[in-house]
Structure 1
């Protein structure tokens, strides 16, 4: 992966791009929402479709010259339908948040009610946080996880739904390590005559591979990101039954955005094609095994995991029981300095600021793409523990950084 043409036109940008390529090669990406797309996906996202406006949908564009844009988008749709078993798929959203916006625009009026998981308990901004368009446009009430167990409080959700009477209930989360009981949430939605939106942004790949249960065919709407665990072109996706297809399509375009980013749709098509292979199921299964191995070893080192473990690709570590004076930001910074990149994160019952919370979120999609297995992830847990136990020690940092260098050399990423 080189940037000769960029360097010839703009050396400063080329230097930054080369720096990012080098950073990814030389560090372990363990932010749960990050992954490494294949070189084929990256090439597709840098293709000549960058130049093409294609407002509308295949066969019904507002511009001429869209025959190849149509072909690419149709391939992305067909492959998505096969991956997730959906009746209708819209692959145009620029992000998972815009996918959620499209559902709200299609089915809600301003001032209608959204019931969603609290952000500090693992929800997402686009599910109704007051700083986000959703919280500013709709009335929002939130449910929580049980602070003792770390699992969604489904009984509390049902009670809140009965009293709040929402128009839509949002499931699917950004920092929840357990399998979601889609049918249970759908039953609550049915009881209060609400729509059910399942946001699978984090677990799109796990659902596609069949290693996490699917909300498709259960929830009224399913949205997601098309990168993260699916490793396709960056963007979003909406899935629904044919009953709502026209409303969703109109909400995506022209409701939420104008022309689609067709180069990203090309990346989605390529990535979805890759995900249809048997190799991808093995990858998804390994991602979960790696997260579980990582979590078990961290527990052996005395760390507390929210919910006691994981069913998916991520761990949420609550530092308060084992390291009460250590914050998530301290851990994030110390680990970044040795080449392990994860993020500080709030935990249920958070007692600190969201800017310097009590936990960290750790994901295995990126290191699994490198080729890590359970034994490698257990070693990474050992390295994490060494740094957290002595974050100021230059000797510890140097030793761990050296081992990270060896691991990234042993499991290379991009040439």
Structure 2
């Protein structure tokens, strides 16, 4: 690579250095195993495979059909689903296909509003969802930060949506899927769960599963699940054909077969006891990190977390979210900002920090390191130069791809 394209080789080396020299706390990111990376860089990337196994629109798909069948079978077994579609190119693609299967343009949809943690595909006017459908937003109680189920029920009865979407990019607690199902049944709505963030915890038994409650579950295969960047859809047998047709040919063309194979690898890894231990360690690390931040003066949303996600308000330290993120970045700590749940209709009014513990846990960090990460974040917020050396020292001890560590899956490292 260095000889054939030195410019791109430099980019690859620079990104590897960035990931290995700083602390990666973006909640939507993780480090895949070498086996997943190998599948992504395999000859399957060359194959055009429109359609589904046994019914492709191109010849020569006999081998890649095996990869997709394995991915589907492993996903169904891992999540206890009757049907799985592993072709969506992303979580947004999966949500688009779910809407295409269940809705028509102009239908009313009830979803978490963006200022309270909803995703772009949950009604943003900048996204297809907000342009094609009539979204009504529900939110959280501004005092507790928890979903206001009474208000959700009232909105559902008032607007009679065609679908209710359960899911968020920053809600750190487990949703009450049974309550969502009950409200959907009361109002004749379909229930779509966007489980992009918690699905890896579900796979490891560290979070409740939405599969028994939802009509359709959309998810990503990266984040805590630790697979390649991509999406998937889980549903019952009665919706299988509608979902498959909504993915192909309605919203996508040919599947990326190297990514499908990498998803199969990730599903296989997630079915191991080692991954279950990892998933529980992720949530344990998140709880310690949240407690550490709270003890140092930040306001942690909902008072803590059940998941890998933590959102915190740095205002008690005299900072807004954007300034806090810049200070963390200067100290080698990469994380995100998010709208705070009581910030009103405009996300720009007040922002906090959003972070996750999936990647640091893959690196082998446990509770003591989680407490240290919290201290480094606070140090960076108070005086960014003071945390830089500590961050570098910590990641040197826990590089992304070192010798195998017990907390990681058997094929990671």
Question: TM-score, normalization: structure 1?
Answer: 0.95
Residue by residue over 1:92-147, the C-alpha shift from the partner in whole angstroms, topping out at 9 and shown as x without a partner, is: 00001110000110111110111000111111011111111011101110100111
- Do residues 402 (structure 1) and 410 (structure 2) align? no
The match for 2:86 is 91
Aligned mate of 1:388, from 381, 387, 393: 381
Q: Distance in 1 between matches of 2:147 and 2:344?
A: 19
Secondary structure of the structure 2 residue equivalent to 1:150? coil
Alpha-carbon distance, 1:358 to partner: 2.2
The match for 2:319 is 326
The match for 1:188 is 183
- Do residues 339 (structure 1) and 326 (structure 2) align? no
CA contact (8 A) 2:287 2:304 kept: yes
Aligned mate of 2:31, from 24, 31, 36: 36
CA contact (8 A) 2:115 2:346 kept: no
The match for 1:309 is 304
- Do residues 366 (structure 1) and 359 (structure 2) align? yes
Q: Distance in 2 between matches of 1:339 and 1:264?
A: 30
The match for 2:409 is none
Alpha-carbon distance, 1:335 to partner: 0.7
Secondary structure of the structure 2 residue equivalent to 1:75? helix
Q: Distance in 1 between matches of 2:271 and 2:374?
A: 31
Q: 1:7-406 residue pairs with structure 2 within 5 A? A: 7-320=2-315, 322-323=316-317, 325-350=318-343, 354=347, 357-391=350-384, 397=385, 399-406=386-393
Relative distance call for 1:232 and 1:40 in structure 2 (3 A) is same
CA contact (8 A) 1:121 1:145 kept: yes
Q: Distance in 2 between matches of 1:96 and 1:125?
A: 11
Alpha-carbon distance, 1:42 to partner: 0.9
RMSD of aligned C-alpha atoms? 1.3
Residue by residue over 1:304-330, the C-alpha shift from the partner in whole angstroms, topping out at 9 and shown as x without a partner, is: 11100000001110223x13x411111
Alpha-carbon distance, 1:355 to partner: 5.3
CA contact (8 A) 1:344 1:357 kept: no
Alpha-carbon distance, 1:389 to partner: 2.1
Secondary structure of the structure 2 residue equivalent to 1:142? strand
Q: Distance in 1 between matches of 2:250 and 2:181?
A: 27
Secondary structure of the structure 2 residue equivalent to 1:44? helix
Q: Distance in 2 between matches of 1:193 and 1:267?
A: 38
Alpha-carbon distance, 1:390 to partner: 3.0
Q: Distance in 2 between matches of 1:414 and 1:355?
A: 37
The match for 2:410 is none
The match for 2:408 is none
Secondary structure of the structure 1 residue equivalent to 2:3? helix
Q: Distance in 2 between matches of 1:140 and 1:82?
A: 34
Q: Distance in 2 between matches of 1:202 and 1:403?
A: 29
Secondary structure of the structure 1 residue equivalent to 2:255? coil
Deviation >2 Å, runs of 4+: 351-358
Unaligned runs of 5+ in 2: 403-413
